[in-house]
Amino acid sequence: MGIGILSTGSYLPKHEVDNEEVAARVGVTAEWIERKTQIRSRRYAAPHEATSDLAAKAAERALAQAGLTAGDIDYLIVSTSTGDHPQPPTSYLVQHLLGAYGAACFDVNVVCSGFVYALSLAHSLVTVRPDTRVLVIGADVYSRILDFTDRRTAILFADGAGAAVVGAVPEPYGVIATDLSSRGDAHHLIRVEAGGSRHPASAETVAEGGHFFRMDGRGVRDFVAEHVPPALIALARGAGVDIGAIDHFVPHQANGVMLTEVVERAGLGAARTHRTLVEYGNVGSASVPVALDEANRTGALTPGDLVLLAGFGGGMSIGASLLTWGART
Residue 82 phi/psi, 5-degree rounding, is -135, 55
Catalytic residue, from 105, 248, 255, 282: name it: 282
What is the CA angle 277-278-279, rounded to 5? 90
Q: Are 315 and 183 in contact, with CB atoms under 8 Å apart? A: yes
Instruction: Return the pLDDT at 61.
Output: 98
Strand 104-108 to 134-141 pairing:
unpaired
Catalytic (active site) residue 252? yes
Find all residues with CB under 8 Å of 267, minimum gap 6, and list them: 229, 233, 243, 244
Instruction: Return the pLDDT at 328.
Output: 53
Write down the H helix ranges in 216-297. Answer: 217-238, 256-266, 277-280, 287-297
DSSP label of 60: H
Catalytic residue, from 252, 255, 274, 296: name it: 252
- Residue ranges of E strands in 142-234: 159-169, 174-182, 190-191, 214-215
Strand 15-18 to 2-11 pairing:
unpaired
HSE, CB side, 13 Å, CA atoms: give it for residue 201: 4
Instruction: Return the pLDDT at 1.
Output: 86
Catalytic residue, from 112, 255, 274, 296: name it: 112
Catalytic (active site) residue 112? yes
DSSP label of 149: T
Find all residues with CB under 8 Å of 96, minimum gap 6, and list them: none
Strand 159-169 to 2-11 pairing:
antiparallel
Q: CA-to-CA distance for 221 and 190, rounded, in angstroms?
A: 11
Question: What's the per-residue H, E or C state across 215-236?
Answer: ECHHHHHHHHHHHHHHHHHHHH
Catalytic (active site) residue 282? yes
Query: What Å distances lie between residue 246 and 28, 42, 170, 305, 322, CA to CA?
Result: 38, 29, 20, 8, 9
- Of 277, 329, 268, 276, nearest in space to 303 by CA: 329
Find all residues with CB under 8 Å of 249, minimum gap 6, and list them: 263, 268, 271, 272, 273, 274, 308, 310
Stretches in the chain below the pLDDT threshold 50: 329
Instruction: Return the pLDDT at 326.
Output: 87
Q: What is the pTM of this model?
A: 0.96
- Residue ranges of E strands in 12-61: 15-18, 41-44
Q: Are 107 and 79 in contact, with CB atoms under 8 Å apart? A: yes
Instruction: Return the pLDDT at 141.
Output: 98
Q: For 311-323, b where at least 16 C-beta lie within 10 A, e where not — what string? A: bbbbbbbbbbbbb
Instruction: Return the pLDDT at 22.
Output: 97
User: Using omega within 30 degrees of 0 as the cis cutoff, is the peptide bond preceding 172 cis?
Assistant: yes
